[in-house]
């Protein structure tokens, strides 16, 4: 199996999420439980999605660099672990956050596929 295809699918998935947050920050904020109190908060939501889930996947797609895919994959895995851990610590209902955890796990699995598929 060509794992580069899986990694590119992961990058495109992250890009789609990022573009949604960049151009529809209130919609994405509602999905992930972020509600800006001011216009600055709205811009910060755009920056979060625009920087980390738009710019980074675009770099992955253009550079096609194995180390960058791995770095982004480990970041997605860390996000899943952190969300899962603090879901318990902060007593967040799993029914509210499970989609975010699932997306992070899917991204990690796609981006890190060369580490477990040969």
Range 93-117 average pLDDT: 94
**What confidence score (pLDDT) does residue 33 get?**
84
Question: Does the pLDDT value for residue 1 go beyond 80?
Answer: no
Q: What is the largest CA-CA distance in the chain?
A: 49
* DSSP state string for 66-93: HHHHHHHHHHHHHHHHHHHHHHHHTT--
Whether the model clears a pTM of 0.85, i.e. scores above it, the answer is yes
Alpha carbons within 13 A on the beta-carbon side of 22: 14
Report the pLDDT value the prediction gives residue 96, as an integer from 0 to 100. 85
pLDDT at 84: 96
- For residue range 79-94, what is the model confidence (pLDDT) as tens digits? 999 999 999 999 999 9
User: Tell me, what's the pLDDT at 15?
Assistant: 97
Mean pLDDT, range 3-18, rounded to an integer: 96
pLDDT for position 59 = 97
User: What are the start-end ranges of the E strands in the chain?
Assistant: none
Interval 89-105 mean pLDDT: 93
Q: How far apart are CA 65 and CA 115, in angstroms?
A: 14
C-alpha pair distances (Å), 74 with each of 27, 43, 89, 105: 27, 27, 22, 10
């Amino acid at each position: 199996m060509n794992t580069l295809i899986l990694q590119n699918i992961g990058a495109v998935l992250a890009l789609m999420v990022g573009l949604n947050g960049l151009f529809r920050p209130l919609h994405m904020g509602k999905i992930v439980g972020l509600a800006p109190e001011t216009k600055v908060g709205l811009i910060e939501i755009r920056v979060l999605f625009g920087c980390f889930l738009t710019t980074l996947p675009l770099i992955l797609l253009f550079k096609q660099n194995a180390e960058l895919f791995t770095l982004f994959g480990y970041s997605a895995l860390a996000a899943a672990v952190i969300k899962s851990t603090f879901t318990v610590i902060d007593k967040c209902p799993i029914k509210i956050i499970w989609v975010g955890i699932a997306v992070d796990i899917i991204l990690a699995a796609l981006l890190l596929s060369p580490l477990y598929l040969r």
